[in-house]
Amino acid sequence: MAKWGPVASINQTGTGIRLPNFCNLGVMLRSLVVVNLLVAAGAVLHAPGPAAMGTEFMALAAFAEPILFISLAALCVARPVLHALGYVRSIAAVVVFEAALAWVVGRLLGGALPAGVALTAPQLVLLALFATGFTLAYFDLRSRALAPAIAEARIQALQARIRPHFLYNSINAVLSLIRSEPRRAERALEDLADLFRVLMADNRTLAPIGNEVELVRQYLALESLRLGERLRVRWNLDAMRADALVPPLVLQPLVENAVYHGIEPCESGGEIEIDVGVAEGQLRMSLSNPYPGGGRHSAGNKMALTNIRERLQLHFDAEATMRSEVKDGMYRVTIRMPYISAPA
Amino acid sequence: MSLADKEVPRVLIADDEAPARSRLRDLLDDCRETFPLVLVDEARTGREVLDVLNREKVDIVLLDIRMPDMDGLEAARHIAGMTDPPAIIFTTAFDSYALKAFEVNAIDYVLKPIRLERLLTALRKTRSGPGVSREALDAAANQPRRHLSVHERGKIHLVPVSEILYLRAELKYVTVRTAQREYLVEESLTRLEEEFGEVFVRVHRNCLVARHAIGGFERNADESESGWAVLVKATGEKLAVSRRQQHVVKQFR
């Protein structure tokens, strides 16, 4: 079990709270919204009447937006440095930086705007510190609120577990091999053991896609034991980078769905196509299988998709997407997420 | 020794997965010592099961529930209409939802991986008491059949529901009309309407017409109390629309 004391919250592993990743689109958007709401609140308070609120907002924004955009860019670039500092020191660094930035912007812009509208540099520094404190406090609260959710991700990964249907059918298939082909039975049991090792593992943290692909191969080896030539798989991994980090069990449940809904209902079977590749800083995984239709895409499928979507959101916020579509008798799921590589 | 014990039961295995069939073969071999039996054949789909039953005398079917083309449950519903149906032992991997329906309707099944003792118990049980009823199977099934079965001279003939133009009740039977010919089935029109309500529409107390088969409506005062008749596209037949079902005319025009 994870410890929830202050020690655990500062350390860099597992559920520890850190400075948000300012390169993440979701974090950027949240920062923009928070700061602009503060500016709007300031405008409402400062304006002499409702009519002047708009002008007041514009005047404040003229100072706030440059600071905001420069800050986001700088924090994104300085991320590795801040990361190395630890949570408390990185916050101190951010506060000092924001104060300095506000001072410089105040001096530069102060002269360019009419005296009645312009804020003085000390005023601006105070406002910047206030906005910084508020934003950081918001992200701190948010990550604390999400920390149990990350622990939850492990449970969810377990819920995305292999269908009992698959387990019992596989054991049945292995039983049938024991008398006639003991060696194949041995290999099948080894694959089954590996699969369950991953299923029972702590799946909170991201893991290399290479591992996931290996897991899917073992899973498919077991399924082809049962389905024989009905199950055909085409891999396209030319553009894959095995070190790309993904939430564990992101692919396997989808492949399992493809077998259950796309291959098993067909007497002659079908082909599953799995595509994994990195392009332009994005990791793209797509999977397609025949769609025999009949509108019987069951609750099981929806549950697996929801589960994966939630875990993607937990790890990547708005930067990961998952789409599924039925086209020309084929069912296709596509997942895109930022390409992050495992530290060497 | 009773009469039943002298006859060695003839068993059919039905499963789409080769290893599952081979496992059942092994287990049936093991059963032979205490429960003599003959393995008749193996089938990979529900349709193949019915083919074998048309060819061979079978006493017990070991029937996998989840199979492509026609699943075990639909095959069983067709089998239950036979005059002397074989006993059915369902086999299945765990699937809590489907099995709940089986339990509610008191339908016996054997769980995969199958144990020898459990299989023996199920085989012995086939000798006592009646098999599973058509009503129980209908209730356990959560979807309509894809075929109606016509039983002629001990053989099962399947009529795909998609090819049926209309169903008309006549005394004890229901006439099933396809573009090619007519069949008689022993079913109730009300039950058919419940099962296939999406495919057929009732135009008369004794008649259900497939929605896709409707070619139009005609004024036809003498034969029909409502003055309307529905035109069957493929055959050109006209079927009377009753006064109570007259709203159907508006719905389709």
Angle between helices B18-31 and A164-180 (to 10 degrees): 60
Residue A110 shares a structural domain with residue A235 = no
Among the ranges A5-14, A106-115, A198-207, which has the highest mean pLDDT value? A198-207
Amino acid type, A243: D
Q: Is residue A343 part of a domain?
A: no
8 Å CB contact between A171 and B113: yes
Q: Is residue A1 part of a domain?
A: no
A178 — contact with chain B (CB < 8 Å)?
no
Q: What is the CATH number of the domain that holds A248?
A: 3.30.565.10
Q: Who wins on pLDDT, A68 or A16?
A: A68
CA distance A176 to chain B (A): 4
Where does chain A have alpha helices with state H? 6-10, 25-46, 53-77, 79-85, 87-110, 121-159, 164-180, 182-200, 209-227, 252-257, 299-316
Phi, psi of B94 (to 5 degrees): -55, 125
Q: Who wins on pLDDT, B249 or A343?
A: B249
B66 contacts on A by Cβ (under 8 Å): 264
Q: Cα(B240)–Cα(B196) distance, rounded to whole angstroms?
A: 21
pLDDT in tens, A9-38: 223 334 456 788 888 888 899 999 999 998
Which of B94, B96, B100, B161 should be substituted to probe chain A, the one whose Cβ sees the most A Cβ atoms within 10 Å? B94
Q: Cα(A66)–Cα(A96) distance, rounded to whole angstroms?
A: 17
B44 contacts on A by Cβ (under 8 Å): 267
Among B63, B61, B85, which Cα is nearest to B72's?
Answer: B63
A168 contacts on B by Cβ (under 8 Å): 93-94, 111-113
Residue A152 shares a structural domain with residue A165 = no
Using left for φ > 0, alpha for ψ between -120 and 50, and beta otherwise, residue A193 falls in alpha
Q: Cα(A228)–Cα(B18) distance, rounded to whole angstroms?
A: 8
Residue A147 shares a structural domain with residue A177 = no
pLDDT in tens, B184-233: 998 899 999 999 988 999 999 999 999 999 998 888 756 667 788 899 99
Q: Who wins on pLDDT, B91 or A110?
A: B91
Among B53, B131, B128, which Cα is nearest to B90's?
Answer: B131
Query: Is the sign of the CA dihedral A256, A261, A265, A270 positive or negative?
Result: negative
Last residue of a domain, one of A95, A126, A156: A156
Q: Is residue A283 part of a domain?
A: yes
Express as a percent the part of chain A with pLDDT over 90: 35
Pairing of β B109-111 and β A282-290: unpaired
Q: Is residue A177 part of a domain?
A: yes
Angle between helices A121-159 and A25-46 (to 10 degrees): 140
CB contact under 8 A, A173 and B23: yes
Amino acid type, B65: I
Residue A242 shares a structural domain with residue A102 = no
Residue A152 shares a structural domain with residue A220 = no
Q: Is residue A83 part of a domain?
A: yes
Work out the number of other CB atoms within 10 angstroms of the CB of residue A261. 21
Last residue of a domain, one of A108, A132, A156: A156
State which residue of chain B sits closest to A263, comparing Cα positions: B68
A265 contacts on B by Cβ (under 8 Å): 68
Cα B235 from chain centre: 27
Among A319, A13, A313, A318, which Cα is nearest to A146's?
Answer: A313
CA distance A254 to chain B (A): 19
Last residue of a domain, one of A137, A156, A175: A156
Q: Is residue A48 part of a domain?
A: yes
Q: Cα(A251)–Cα(A189) distance, rounded to whole angstroms?
A: 21
B114 contacts on A by Cβ (under 8 Å): 172
Residue A267 shares a structural domain with residue A130 = no
Nearest Cβ partner for B19 among A165, A168, A177: A177
Q: pTM for this one?
A: 0.73
Q: Is residue A344 part of a domain?
A: no
Which of B13, B15, B17, B67 should be substituted to probe chain A, the one whose Cβ sees the most A Cβ atoms within 10 Å? B17
| Residue A212: both structure tokens together | 């996931």
CA distance B165 to chain A (A): 21
Q: Is residue A152 part of a domain?
A: yes
Q: Who wins on pLDDT, A160 or B19?
A: B19
pLDDT tops 60 at residue B66: yes
**Max alpha carbon distance in chain B (Å)?**
72
A226 — contact with chain B (CB < 8 Å)?
yes
> CA dist B139 to A275, B25, B104, B132, B134, Å?
43, 31, 9, 12, 9
3-state secondary structure of A232: strand
Across the strands, what pairs with A324? A333
Residue A194 shares a structural domain with residue A294 = yes
| Residue B128: both structure tokens together | 């006592």
Residue A172 shares a structural domain with residue A121 = no
* Mean predicted lDDT score pLDDT of chain B: 89
Q: Who wins on pLDDT, B95 or A271?
A: A271
Q: Cα(A135)–Cα(A35) distance, rounded to whole angstroms?
A: 7
Residue A61 shares a structural domain with residue A130 = yes
Average pLDDT over residues A183-190: 93
Please, is B114 exposed, middle or buried when counting C-beta atoms within 10 Å of its C-beta (0-12, 13-18, 19+)?
Answer: buried
Q: Cα(B58)–Cα(B81) distance, rounded to whole angstroms?
A: 15
3-state secondary structure of B231: strand
* Mean predicted lDDT score pLDDT of chain A: 83
Using left for φ > 0, alpha for ψ between -120 and 50, and beta otherwise, residue B237 falls in beta
Domains defined for chain B, CATH in brackets? 7-140 (3.40.50.2300), 164-252 (2.40.50.1020)
Among B194, B196, B202, which Cα is nearest to B252's?
Answer: B202
Of A60-64, A116-120, B108-112, which range is least confident? A116-120
* pLDDT band with cut points at 50, 70 and 90 for residue A244: very high
Q: Which residue has the tokens 């039925």?
A: A326
State which residue of chain B sits closest to A299, comparing Cα positions: B97
Provide Rg for chain A, Cα atoms. Answer: 26
* pLDDT band with cut points at 50, 70 and 90 for residue B40: very high
Residue A135 shares a structural domain with residue A189 = no
Residue A95 shares a structural domain with residue A111 = yes
Per the structure, the count of domains in chain A is 2
Residue A145 shares a structural domain with residue A257 = no
| Residue A153: both structure tokens together | 């991700």
Among B113, B102, B116, which Cα is nearest to B17's?
Answer: B113
Q: Cα(A52)–Cα(A168) distance, rounded to whole angstroms?
A: 71
pLDDT tops 90 at residue A196: no
8 Å CB contact between A119 and A63: yes
pLDDT tops 80 at residue A223: yes
* Owning domain of residue A58: 6-156
Q: Cα(B47)–Cα(B147) distance, rounded to whole angstroms?
A: 10
Strands ordered across the beta sheet of A330-338: A231-236, A270-279, A282-290, A330-338, A321-327
